[in-house]
A and B are shown apart, each in its own frame.
Chain A
Amino acid sequence: MKNIFSAIKLTTLCLIFFSAIYPLAITVIAQFAPGKGRGETVELNGKIVGFQKIGQTFNNENYFWGRPSAAGYNAASGSGSNKGPSNPDYLKDVQVRVDTFLLRHPYLSKQEIPTEMVTASGSGLDPHISPQAALVQVKRVAQARNIPETRLIRLIEQHTEKPLLSLFGPSKVNVLELNIALDQASPQPSPKEREQ
């Protein structure tokens, strides 16, 4: 019996230490971190338009697109497709994505489509694409916005994040930040104004 009471008391103390003191201490320290531990937001014209690390749906002609998402970029419930590599339905989906991408980028050949643009990300919220995947979209965005391609290419170069210390991991482009920079460079009517 003594054993059980000791166990109860030890459990209570551990609960206070590991589930209250520890997370509260980290919460306090988080106040000094960027975004104060609430997630870093990004703004356009003083309005919050998203979280830096969370991808968004982009399918308009005048934006760079992110990756396909099995969750439709629902950041309240992210998910991957969980489709197996040999699943015939899945392979049909990929084929449809390839065809759609070619239709919207008629100047491309199949071999030029980067794989991440036709495969769904793990989280369904992937904020990045490879620089190559941004470059293949330049012509479309340039036509839609009526700005020179060279300017877009420079914008992509500015927003390309190098591998860690230029040594480790892949290079990438944050699609949301690229599109915000795009809106700043060539302002577009907001969706509401366009409807009017």
Chain B
Amino acid sequence: MNTEILGIVVMFFMTVVLAVPLGKYIAKIYAGEQTFLDPIFNPIEHFFFKISGIDPSEEMNWKQHLYALLTINLLWFFLCFFILMNQGWLPLNPDKNPSMSPDLAFNTTISFLVNCDLQSYSGETGISYLGQIAGLMFFMFVSAGTGMAACAMVFNAMKERQTEQLGNFYNYFLKSCTRVLFPISFIAAIVLIFNGVPMTWEGKAHHTSLQGTSMDVSRGPAAAFIAIKQCATNGGGFFGTNSAHPLENPTYLTNAVECILIFLIPIAMVFALGHYLSRKKLAWMVLGVMTIGFIILVVPAVVQEMKGNSAITSMGIDQTRGSMEGKETRIGSAASGFWTIVTTVTSNGSANCMLDSLTPLTGGLAMLGMMINSLYGGVGVGFLNFYVFIILAVFISGLMVGRTPEFLGKKVEAREVKIAAIVAILHPLMILTGTALASYFTAHDTAMGYWFNGKASGWLGNPGYHGFSEMLYQFTSSAANNGSGFAGLSANNPFWNISTGIIMIFTRYIPIIGPLAIAGLLAQKKYIPESSGTLQTDTSIFGTMVFVVILIIAALSFFPALALGPFAEYFTLIS
């Protein structure tokens, strides 16, 4: 078998195999059971809670969870915004990079705070080591911890009982960071440094190249940063070209390790659900739906990338290595196509190739992954998105069989369905409104004044259908908490920084608030034991139902936009 294909098959199976024990471990942490890391982390967490004056055993209702979550997130915003606006004179800036402009600092702070990691700057020239480590890397831990804590509360609310008491936000949050994200990052960072990823506080290195020209090489404390960036579905690159950069991702081995890390915790969270609720069949149903969706996206993407760009084939060039524009030789086209889908179905957004140069269908499939946004999804929040689809599927199935919809022994009523519908509609609303606005300006070539230096069409890196794809991709990626980009688009200007910044805020917090509210409301309701008339939610029939709901919502809302961009480009290329 082709070694490139074998590589990606092994990556997928390794991830699932590792996710099973990890899921069990995560379930134990949220249930407060003993784990083998207790001797290390019990004293640390005890110290943290004591100093902070937090009682981790104090139970909160869903509103208190939300209040704690939003308060601490707001606090973090100010911290990072200050660092990025002042990094020019603050310490740990050996390369003398300047402070960020207000709109760029706003965009970057929001983007990392919400776990999106859209980047309008380039790591080598746009940010200091202090900004990278105390600003962005700090967010990589705590933003993922926030999402996982929200997910843990929803797990808690799905138990078979009637209650308002849904655990403690700070407890879930801190333990997610210290006991899940930290150990995984620590091990991963060690693997990375021994395979050539730098971890130094020195600035650029200078030397003369073999042909006799002067060269500067950017470095930095990258290994610690990259480990957490991958495992916590952050995805923001230490260097501008993200995981395509040879110092971020130096070998095929690091590529495999990083790719596995991207969807390890998202898959483990599904197993955690099964263990936590002792509903393994439900977890398999969820995982099954997610995996089928993933395979439908990943297979054509890999095939397309390995086949190469048909426009270059028609020039008479041999493309046995696939479409290599924007790709790295050590990684190859198969692993690049695979990574692209892995990183977009989860909300990671790191890239080991330049997405703007992908063949048209792969670019479209990557967008579709983000439009659905719940095939594995981000750490914690991926399941929350899926939860919304479950609620909608329960409601629709209930109507079809003519019974009151129930989910895990709780009646799903008008209020919950309304919330679910709002969350489901928000995503296409944000993406399509943003794209429509940007396309309008581009089509009229409007002079943008303060918002953009020059006329609107100047922000496109490519003409035609592909230019439309660039704009659609940027808003999709912002709304899906993803952060990857078609980098040909000039995004570092007030128009793009501010519009995507606002979208990122809405599409992060509303999809957390909604499921938290639904789960909290359902938990307060009387528990009805299962009877022969109960709709079984852990069967393949219900799984199919969820899949269809996802398909209808994503396809109906996004198909026209996809047809104008990537599909149109695909058909022009093959004709």
The reply to whether B137 and A19 contact each other, CB–CB distance below 8 Å, is yes
Name the B residues within 8 Å of A34 (CB-CB).
194, 196
Given A130-B321, A172-B329: A6 in contact with B53 (beta carbons within 8 A): yes
Beta-carbon contact of B332 and A170 below 8 Å: yes
A83-B462, A86-B569 known; A126-B329 Cβ under 8 A: yes
A13 touches B48 (CB 8 A): yes
A55 to B124 CA separation, bound complex (whole angstroms): 17
The interface bits of chain A over 58-77 (1 if a CB of B lies within 8 angstroms of the residue's CB, else 0) are: 11100100010000011111
Question: Closest CB of chain B to A60's CB: distance in Å?
Answer: 6
Q: Does B198 contact A (CB under 8 A)?
A: yes
Selected from B48, B201, B311, B353, the residue in CB contact (under 8 A) with A85 is B311
Chain B: which residue is nearest A78 at the CB level? Answer: B241
**Nearest CB of B to A182, in Å:** 10
> B155 at interface (Cβ–Cβ under 8 A)?
no
Chain A: which residue is nearest B51 at the CB level?
A9
Enumerate chain A residues within 8 angstroms of B318, measured Cβ to Cβ.
Answer: 111-115
- Residue in chain B with minimal CB distance to A116: B324
Interface 9-mer from B217-225, B475-483, B505-513: B217-225
Complex CA–CA separation, A19 to B229 (angstroms): 13
Pair A19/B52 contact, Cβ less than 8 Å: no
Interface stretch (choices B357-365, B394-402, B424-432): B357-365
A110 CB to closest chain B CB (Å) equals: 5
CB contacts (< 8 Å) of A128 on chain B: these are 328-330
Given the known interface contacts A6-B53, A84-B488, A87-B466, the answer about A77 and B122 at a Cβ–Cβ threshold of 8 Å is yes
A110 / chain B contacts, CB cutoff of 8 Å: 315-317
How many chain B residues touch A (CB < 8 A): the figure is 123
Query: Are A29 and B190 closer than 8 Å at their CB atoms?
Result: yes
Across-interface contacts of B196 in A (CB, < 8 A): 34-35, 39-40, 52-53
B43 interfacial contact with A, CB 8 Å: no
Q: Given known contacts A6-B54, A164-B252, is B359 in contact with A14 (CB within 8 Å)? A: no
A27 and B329 in contact, given A53-B246, A58-B211, A98-B315 (Cβ under 8 angstroms): no
Q: For the complex, is B79 an interface residue (Cβ under 8 Å from A)?
A: yes
A9's nearest neighbour on chain B, judged by CB, is B52
Contacts of B316 in A (CB 8 A): 110-111
Closest to A75 in B: B217
Name the contact of B317 in the complex, choosing from A13, A115, A169 (C-beta under 8 A): A115
Those of B91-114 within 8 Å (CB) of chain A: none
**A/B pair count, beta carbons within 8 Å:** 373
Contact: B244 with A19, CB < 8 Å?
no
Does any Cβ of A come within 8 Å of B245's Cβ?
A: yes
B7 and A122 within 8 A (CB): no
Contact with B330, one of A41, A51, A113, A172 (Cβ below 8 angstroms): A172
The answer to whether B329 and A129 touch across the interface, beta carbons within 8 angstroms, is yes
Which of A18, A50, A126, A129 is most buried by chain B, counting CB atoms within 10 A of its CB?
A18
CB closest chain-A residue, reference B141: A18
Number of A residues with CB within 8 Å of any CB on chain B: 106
> Hey, what's the 0/1 contact readout for B31-52 against A, CB within 8 Å counting as 1?
0000000000000100110011
| Beta-carbon contact of B466 and A191 below 8 Å | no
Counting chain B CB atoms within 10 Å of each CB, the highest count among A58, A86, A118, A166 belongs to A86
Indicate whether A3 sits within 8 Å of B67 (C-beta atoms), given known contacts A14-B141, A50-B215, A84-B569: yes
Q: Which of B47, B198, B244, B461 contacts A39 (CB 8 A)?
A: B198
The 0/1 profile, CB within 8 Å of A marked 1, for residues 493-511 of chain B is 0000000000000000000
Does A144 count as interface, using CB distance less than 8 angstroms? no
Task: Assess whether B474 is interfacial by the CB under 8 Å rule.
Answer: no
A190 contacts partner chain B, Cβ-Cβ < 8 Å: yes
Asked if residues A19 and B134 are in contact (CB atoms below 8 Å), the reply is yes
With A79-B241, A122-B352 as contacts: A86 and B311 at CB distance below 8 Å? yes
**Interface: A11 (CB within 8 A):** yes
Most buried by A among B51, B178, B208, B312: B312
With an 8 A cutoff between CB atoms, is B531 at the interface? no
Please report the C-alpha to C-alpha distance between residue A108 and residue B196 in the assembled complex, in whole angstroms. Answer: 36
- How long is the Cα–Cα vector from A167 to B357 in the complex, in angstroms? 28
Residues 1-57 of A contacting B (Cβ, < 8 Å): 2-11, 13-15, 17-19, 22-23, 25-27, 29-30, 33-41, 44, 47-57
Check if B210 sits within 8 Å of A183, measured CB to CB.
yes
Closest residue on chain A to residue B68 by CB atoms: A3
Contact (Cβ within 8 A) B330 A170 = yes
Min CB–CB distance A37 → chain B (angstroms):
4
Cβ A85 vs Cβ B569 within 8 A? yes
Complex Cα distance, B256 from A49, in Å, reads 29
Q: Flag whether B272 is at the interface (Cβ < 8 A).
A: no
Interface contact B326-A121, CB-CB below 8 Å: yes
Report if A150 contacts B (CB, 8 A): no
Q: Which residues of A contact B194 (CB under 8 A)?
A: 33-34
A77 touches B218 (CB 8 A): yes
Whether the pair B252, A26 counts as a contact (CB closer than 8 A) is no
Q: Is B327 an interface residue (CB 8 A)?
A: yes
On whether the beta carbons of A50 and B209 are closer than 8 Å, the reply is yes
Within the complex, the shortest CB–CB distance from B206 to chain A, in Å, comes to 9
Query: Given that A82-B488, A119-B324 are contacting pairs, would A8 and B75 also be in contact in the complex, using a CB cutoff of 8 Å?
Result: yes
B205 within 8 Å of A by Cβ?
A: yes
B153 within 8 Å of A by Cβ? no
Interface string of B184-210 (1 = CB under 8 A from A): 011001100110101111101101111
A168: CB under 8 A from chain B?
Answer: yes
Instruction: Using CB atoms and an 8 Å cutoff, list the residues of chain A in contact with chain B.
Output: 2-11, 13-15, 17-19, 22-23, 25-27, 29-30, 33-41, 44, 47-60, 63, 67, 73-88, 90-91, 94-95, 98, 110-116, 118-130, 163-164, 166-172, 176, 179-180, 183, 190-192
Report 19 cross-chain contacts, Cβ distance below 8 Å, ordered by A residue: A2-B53, A3-B67, A9-B51, A10-B48, A13-B48, A13-B51, A15-B79, A17-B48, A44-B210, A67-B329, A78-B239, A79-B122, A80-B326, A83-B325, A84-B469, A85-B311, A166-B3, A167-B3, A168-B7
For the complex of A and B, list the 10 residue pairs with the smallest distance between their C-beta atoms, beginning with the closest.
Answer: A122-B244, A80-B354, A84-B466, A168-B7, A82-B488, A191-B212, A169-B252, A128-B329, A37-B199, A84-B462
Given contacts A6-B54, A84-B462, A119-B323, 7 further A-B contacts (CB under 8 A): A85-B311, A110-B316, A115-B319, A163-B3, A163-B252, A164-B253, A170-B252
Q: Which residues of B approach A to under 8 Å, CB–CB?
A: 3-4, 6-7, 10, 44, 47-48, 51-54, 67-68, 71-72, 75-76, 79, 122, 124-125, 133-134, 137-138, 141-142, 170, 174, 177-178, 182, 185-186, 189-190, 193-194, 196, 198-202, 204-205, 207-213, 215-219, 221, 223-225, 239-241, 244-247, 250-253, 255-256, 308-309, 311-312, 315-332, 335-336, 351-354, 356-360, 461-466, 469-470, 486-488, 569, 572-573
